[in-house]
Amino acid sequence: MSDVPAEILLSRAALSRLVEPSDAVGLALAVTVGPVDALRIATGSLPAGVQLQHEVMECLGMESGPRSVLAEALERWAPRRKDLAPERDLATLNRLGGRLIVPESPDWPAALDDLQLAAPLCLWVRGPGDIPGGHRVVALVGSRDSTSYGNAVTGDLAAGLVGRGFTIVSGGAYGIDARAHRAALAVGGVGALPTMAVMACGVDRYYPAGNEEMLRAIAGRGFLVSEVPPGSSPTRWRFLQRNRLIAALSSVTVVVEARWRSGALNTAHHAAGLGRAVGAVPGSVHSANSAGCHRLLRDGSAVCVTDAAEIAELAGPIGSEQGTEPVVAALDHDGLSVPDILLLDALPVRAVSTIEKLASVAGLSTREVMAGLSRLEIAGLAARTTDGWRRQKN
């Protein structure tokens, strides 16, 4: 970060207040002319010539129309020019121990570049260390009005993933989000910091208020992250756009509980659109809070996940992950051939039988019965008595 010229930091800080998240024209302008000139143009101190208008349109993949989208955008941004005070915003962040991360910084998460033209202008970050991105990061998201089932599952998943060295990303909201952050903080993190909250408001604000204590703890032992500057309030638009950051920063997005319509589904669709793995936790068909998860499973947008190991598997091959096949007691007939299964079924448990009778009952030749009995005897499944053969429990 120290290598990034102050002018770039200040310009991106200012642009992030002037321009709403995912404002395509603002992002295209910054890509086309760089953040410093982009700010000058956005604030009217550098004129936007016809040539630039064409370049921005081209960057957006649009044909030039009767009225330039850049001219429209300049008009849109104008009312906020008077609010710009990037030095003050950076000082606020500094006081909170935070820093501004920009694409020009060495610690910019490469995962965000997958957003292409929708990549944020900068990230306002509170928390120690470099923010994680990619491979060992899992988003756990879901309903605000979670059920006790959803809470319990979220706690198990978060703890299991943090124990495997993953960082848990969520949105800092009530319900599933809070349960995921809290469980991650409780476990503490192995190597990586345990959790990261991606906010729809400034990182100096604790929203929702009931989560203030938790959000302060995250800022101390994890990360609070936002693309909007300090003081910004959370709006519906910012919540929706915030979801794309959660998806982009994580290698897997898991929806633990969600109603048929839920912001968590929006995050899942962002993740799928980025080619990231998406998991959904199943639940009761009677629970409205699982309807959104089942919807994702049904339409093939998500993979069914039931524990931390299955999610770790989705995150990609590490080599250290265990398969999810549970340990199941071997059954007597495991590995037997079909004739030997038929023979085993024909052997009485509480009486004895003859080779001729076994042949008829099992539907095998006497030769097959004799060969099979030898194999079952060796396997400890058949016992020879003076009167005939009986089944032996292994």
Question: Which residues make up the interface to a copy of itself (CB under 8 A)?
Answer: 18-20, 23, 72, 75-80, 82-83, 149, 152-153, 235-237, 260-261, 281-286, 290-291, 293-294, 297-298, 303-307, 310, 326, 328, 331, 333, 338, 341-342, 344-346, 356, 359-360, 363-368
CB of 153 to a copy of itself, least distance (A): 6
What is the chain's length? 394
CB of 256 to a copy of itself, least distance (A): 10
Which burial class, exposed, middle or buried, applies to 170 when counting CB atoms under 10 A from its CB (0-12, 13-18, 19+)? buried
Report the residue number, 219 or 343, with the smaller CB distance to a copy of itself: 343
CB of 65 to a copy of itself, least distance (A): 16
Report the residue number, 134 or 348, with the smaller CB distance to a copy of itself: 348
CB of 158 to a copy of itself, least distance (A): 14
Question: Which pair of tokens denotes residue 116?
Answer: 């292409």
- Start-to-end Cα distance in the chain: 67
CA distances from 146 to 289, 299, 332, 344 (A): 7, 23, 44, 50
Report the residue number, 131 or 302, with the smaller CB distance to a copy of itself: 302
Report the residue number, 131 or 200, with the smaller CB distance to a copy of itself: 200
CB of 128 to a copy of itself, least distance (A): 32
Which burial class, exposed, middle or buried, applies to 132 when counting CB atoms under 10 A from its CB (0-12, 13-18, 19+)? buried
- β-partners of residue 169 are 139, 196
Report the residue number, 116 or 284, with the smaller CB distance to a copy of itself: 284
SS (H, E, C) 168-199: EEECCCCCHHHHHHHHHHHHCCCCCCCEEEEC
Determine which helix (DSSP H) or strand (DSSP E) holds 311, and give its type and residue range.
helix 308-314
Cite the beta strand spans of the chain per DSSP E. Answer: 99-101, 123-126, 134-142, 167-170, 195-198, 223-226, 250-257, 277-280, 303-304, 382-384, 389-391
CB of 290 to a copy of itself, least distance (A): 7
Report the residue number, 174 or 239, with the smaller CB distance to a copy of itself: 239
d(CA 235, CA 237): 5
CB of 282 to a copy of itself, least distance (A): 3
Report the residue number, 126 or 295, with the smaller CB distance to a copy of itself: 295
Say which amino acid occupies 215. Answer: L
